Chain A
Amino acid sequence: MTALLEVSGLTVRFGSPSGEVHAVEDVSFAISSGESLGIVGESGSGKTVTCMSLSWLLPSPPTRYVGGRITFKGEELRPHQEKRLRHIRGRGIGMIFQNSRLSFDPAYRMGAQIAEVLRAHLPQPWRELRPEVIQTLQSCNIADAEAVLDKYPHEVSGGVAQRVSIALALLIRPDLLVADEPTTSLDLLSQIEVLALLEKLRRETGLAMILVSHDLSVVRRIADRVVIMYAGRIVEQGPAEAIFSDPRHPYTQGLLFSALQKREGGRLFELPGTPPDLAALPSGCSFRPRCPHAFAACEEMPALLPAGPAREARCHLLDPAARRD
């Protein structure tokens, strides 16, 4: 089966006063139709930039697309081809952002903004689409859908705005839905609702989905496969079940261990140290300064090594030839 979306060697950088920021380095992964992929990492791990780069969304300049090939439905997408990319964005790859209230223009009512996006992609006039819009909003648990259309973004809650933006993404029927931290800016109750909505969508529509989060429990509920990112690189990827039950990279182990400790109410486990400055990465493995197992071989950046069925991890511990001692 060919992949719906294939990313290979994606490398994205930004200029900054303190040097060039290596936001994403040599990231490769694929997602098939109907699959859901979770991308996990701390802030600054490159997960958001990776998502935004799937349709070359970030304006360049200042963003520098250094390398990488993105193939979507068999077609190679290239940066700067705005005319072509416009039809991929929204229609092929739908996106949901962290703060949905801010993703709507404060100067227009929600209904007008929905109509505008639909008009850009669909041939039917708003009059014909309106019943479907109402229905989709309702299926996204917005009870007073009619009233919401007449409201300005500042008049709705963050949870409602997030559900409207999910409904809007769905209305254009994308092949792939990318949700970047969709629950992070919401209160606990809205988080649960939005998560349940995404789960329902997964179950009922079989829509391919990329879910970006720093929250493992969120990813665990939805993702079939997981990509763990650290300092702009993939450090581990594989089936969700396998990674959650048996993490192979020390960073993944640290992440899972801290989440586990939290659940059991014990003393919080902390990964020592902080993620590195992306403008001044340490030599060798980026995780080396924080890694409890670091040894001589880690002075060189490890490659992604096989770590089980359909699994890879970027760690010298997996290389028998590089064993310590």
Chain B
Amino acid sequence: MLAYTAQRVLSIIPTLIGVSLVTFGLLHLVPGGPALAMLGMAASDPKAVAAVTKELGLDRSLPEQYWIWLKRAVTGNFGTSTEFHVPVTALLFPKLEHTLILTAGSLFYAVVLGLMVGITTALYHRSLYDRLAMLLTLIGASAPVFWIGLLLIYLFAIRLGWLPALGMASPLGPPTVLGVLKHLILPAFANSIISLAVIARIVRSGMMEALVQPYILAARARGLPRWRQVVVHAFRNVLPDAINITGLQVGFLFGGALFVEVVFGWPGLGYLIYSSIQARDYVTLQAAVLIVSAAFIFVNLVADLARMALDPREARS
């Protein structure tokens, strides 16, 4: 376990270097180069372009530029946003926190609802409920998240008026925990659907297999109550698989959150990336992509290590 942890942690270093190269290159892929992109309409003046090129250090060689950028990035200096005129760091980290809140909310739905649907459909498999639930998870997992998001907003926010449609807190008054949780319901659910379906299906098939094992019949014959047969015995044998699949979903939910944020106006990294692209704010975009990639790698690492610690079979080997 210790050796695996060390190996797993060290292996993220080359990945991070690769990611930094790609995000650095991003700026140079812009048609006409970054200086032209930043100046926009003013780019018709060659003197202005030359001044900006010099100011940004774009007249130096690429490796030299990369090295300077990397040194600054490591110390947390990502430059100043060309759109908002504040240090990018001040912009990024609150957004990262918001994205992580959304990811956590999505994970909660995926696990709680996924287990509930998986276990109950296995218990009543082939029933109308089972068929309906499996059909719904199939549709939910196949439909694009922005479409599902719009449907949810239309139904629960506009038609029924139960939940807020957009944002993370009410614009009136200071944000409250309860308010954030209320705003979290729709986007987190929309983001969780695919993972929910995956977890439900894995748990369902595992439970169906476990429930017909001789030890369940024996538990019944020994007079154990039904819930013990189901939870203590059948589910216990499905648990390693459930943990495994959940671990794999964490990174996926983090990535999905970026898209969901745009649909629900959730002020996280995804929304920031979206608005940076629209505003051609490449400095912010570059830093945001780097942070997202690093967070994705980190979230996966944590999920992987947690899975190792919780799965007795993995721990033993």
Contacts and interface: CB of A to CB of B under 8 A. Distances in A.
Contacts of B233: 105, 107
Nearest to B211: A59
Interface of A: 55, 57, 82, 86-91, 95, 97, 99, 102-108, 116-117, 120-121, 165, 168-169, 172
Interface in B220-236: 220-226, 228, 232-233, 236
B277 interface: no
B223 A120 contact: yes
B218 A89 contact: no
Given A86-B225, A116-B228, A104 B218 contact: yes
Nearest to B216: A105
A103 B224 CA distance: 13
Candidate in B214, B220, B221, B237 with the most chain A CB atoms within 10 angstroms: B221
B224 A55 contact: no
Interface of B: 213-215, 217-226, 228, 232-233, 236-237
Given A116-B228, A116-B232, A104 B223 contact: no
A105 B236 contact: yes
A105 B237 contact: yes
Given A57-B220, A89-B220, A116-B232, A104 B215 contact: yes
Nearest to B126: A61
B223 A90 contact: yes
Contacts of B236: 105, 107-108
Task: Label chain B's interface by main secondary structure.
Answer: helix
B222 A105 contact: no
Nearest to A93: B221
Given A105-B219, A105-B236, A107-B237, A120 B214 contact: no
Given A102-B213, A107-B236, A97 B224 contact: no
A120 B228 CA distance: 10
A141 B80 CA distance: 80
Given A105-B237, A107-B236, A116-B228, A89 B213 contact: no
12 contacts: A89-B222, A97-B217, A99-B214, A103-B218, A105-B236, A105-B237, A107-B233, A108-B236, A116-B224, A117-B222, A120-B225, A168-B222
A50 B126 CA distance: 26
Contacts of A89: 220-223
Given A99-B214, A105-B236, A120 B220 contact: no
A160 to B, nearest CB: 16
A83 to B, nearest CB: 9
Candidate in A88, A97, A107, A165 with the most chain B CB atoms within 10 angstroms: A107
A86 B214 contact: no
Given A105-B233, A105-B237, A116-B232, A90 B215 contact: no
Given A107-B236, A107-B237, A117 B215 contact: no
A324 to B, nearest CB: 46
Contact of A57 (B213, B217, B224, B237): B217
A172 B233 CA distance: 20
Nearest to A82: B226
Closest 8 CB pairs of A and B: A90-B223, A103-B218, A102-B214, A89-B223, A95-B221, A90-B222, A105-B215, A117-B222
